[in-house]
A and B are shown apart, each in its own frame.
Chain A
Amino acid sequence: MLRTTAERLAQRYAVRNPADLATIDRAQSWQAVADAGLLGLRARDGAQPFVSGVEVMLVAEALAGALTPPSFIGTILAEELLALAGVDAEIDAIAAGSARYALLLTRDLTQLADAESFNGAVGFDADAAGYALGLSRGRGGARLCRYAIAGVFSELQTPDFTRVCVGPATDKKRPEAELLGSAVTAEALDRWLALALTLTCADIVGVLRSGLRQVVEYSKTRIQYGVPVGSFQAVQHMCAEMLVKVEAASSMTRYAAWTVDALPPSESLLAARTAKAHCAGAARSVAETVMQAFGGIGQTWEHIAPLMNRRVMFDRKLFGDESHQLLCIADARLGAA
Chain B
Amino acid sequence: MDYRENEQEAAFRKRVHDWLAENAPRNWQEEASDEKAAGRITRAWHRKLYEAGFIGLSWPEEYGGRNLGPTFEAILNDELGKADTPRISFHNYLGRAIFAFGTEEQKRRFLPTMLSGEVQWCQGFSEPNAGSDLASLRTFAELRGDTYVVNGQKMWTSGALNADWCLLLVRTDRDVPKHKGITCLLTSIRAPGIDVRPIRISDGAPETCEVFLDEVKIPADQRVGDPGAGWRIAMTVLSFERGPADIGMIATYDTALRKIEDLAKARGVAGQPEVRKALARAYVHGEALRLNVVEQLSQRSAGRMPGPEGSVARLLLTEAQQYINHLELEVMGADAFNGRATGTFNSYIRSRTISIFGGTSEIQKNILANQVLGMPR
Contact indicator B338/A122 (Cβ below 8 Å)? yes
Contact A292-B339, Cβ < 8 Å, known A159-B345, A234-B362, A299-B201: no
B353 at the interface (CB under 8 A from A): yes
Contact indicator B199/A309 (Cβ below 8 Å)? no
Residues of chain B with a CB closer than 8 A to A323's CB: 274, 330
1/0 contact trace for B340-365 toward A, CB 8 Å? Answer: 00100110010011011100111001
Q: Which of B53-61, B89-97, B124-132, B143-151 contacts A (4 or more CB under 8 A)?
A: B124-132
Contact indicator B129/A223 (Cβ below 8 Å)? yes
Contact indicator A158/B337 (Cβ below 8 Å)? yes
A225 and B137 alpha carbons, distance in the complex (Å): 11
Residues of chain A with a CB closer than 8 A to B345's CB: 159, 310, 313
Contact indicator A224/B202 (Cβ below 8 Å)? no
B335 at the interface (CB under 8 A from A): yes
Contact indicator A295/B132 (Cβ below 8 Å)? yes
Contact indicator A300/B337 (Cβ below 8 Å)? no
A301 and B131 alpha carbons, distance in the complex (Å): 18
A288 and B322 alpha carbons, distance in the complex (Å): 11
1/0 contact trace for B309-343 toward A, CB 8 Å? Answer: 00000000000000000100110011111110010
In this complex, how many residues of chain A approach chain B with their Cβ under 8 Å: the count is 39
A314 at the interface (CB under 8 A from B): yes
Contact A306-B202, Cβ < 8 Å, known A224-B136, A232-B362: yes
Q: Which of B200, B339, B366 contacts A302 (CB 8 A)?
A: B200
Residues of chain A with a CB closer than 8 A to B165's CB: none
Contact indicator A300/B199 (Cβ below 8 Å)? yes
1/0 contact trace for B158-201 toward A, CB 8 Å? Answer: 00000000000000000000000000000000000000000111
A232 and B362 alpha carbons, distance in the complex (Å): 10
Contact-residue bracket for chain B: 35 or more
Residues of chain A with a CB closer than 8 A to B346's CB: 159
1/0 contact trace for A287-329 toward B, CB 8 Å? Answer: 0100110011001111100100110011001000001000000
B204 at the interface (CB under 8 A from A): yes
Interface of chain A residues 250 through 308 with chain B (CB within 8 A): 284, 288, 291-292, 295-296, 299-303, 306
CB distance from A15 to the nearest CB of B (A): 16
Most buried by A among B338, B339, B345, B362: B338
Residues of chain B with a CB closer than 8 A to A300's CB: 199-202
Interface of chain B residues 8 through 65 with chain A (CB within 8 A): none
Contact indicator B361/A292 (Cβ below 8 Å)? yes
A182 and B335 alpha carbons, distance in the complex (Å): 33
1/0 contact trace for A106-131 toward B, CB 8 Å? Answer: 01111000000000101000000000
CB distance from A56 to the nearest CB of B (A): 24
Contact indicator B338/A301 (Cβ below 8 Å)? no
Contact indicator A296/B126 (Cβ below 8 Å)? yes
Contact indicator A165/B362 (Cβ below 8 Å)? no
Offer 29 A-B interface pairs, CB within 8 angstroms, sorted by A.
A108-B333, A109-B334, A109-B338, A110-B334, A122-B338, A156-B339, A157-B342, A224-B136, A226-B133, A232-B362, A234-B362, A234-B365, A234-B366, A284-B326, A288-B352, A292-B356, A292-B361, A295-B131, A295-B132, A296-B126, A296-B155, A296-B353, A299-B353, A301-B199, A301-B202, A301-B203, A302-B200, A306-B202, A309-B349
The 7 closest A-B pairs by CB, nearest first: A156-B339, A301-B200, A306-B202, A224-B133, A159-B345, A234-B362, A108-B334
A122-B339, A223-B129 known; 10 new pairs, CB 8 Å cut-off, are A109-B334, A109-B337, A110-B334, A158-B338, A224-B133, A225-B136, A295-B356, A296-B353, A296-B356, A309-B202
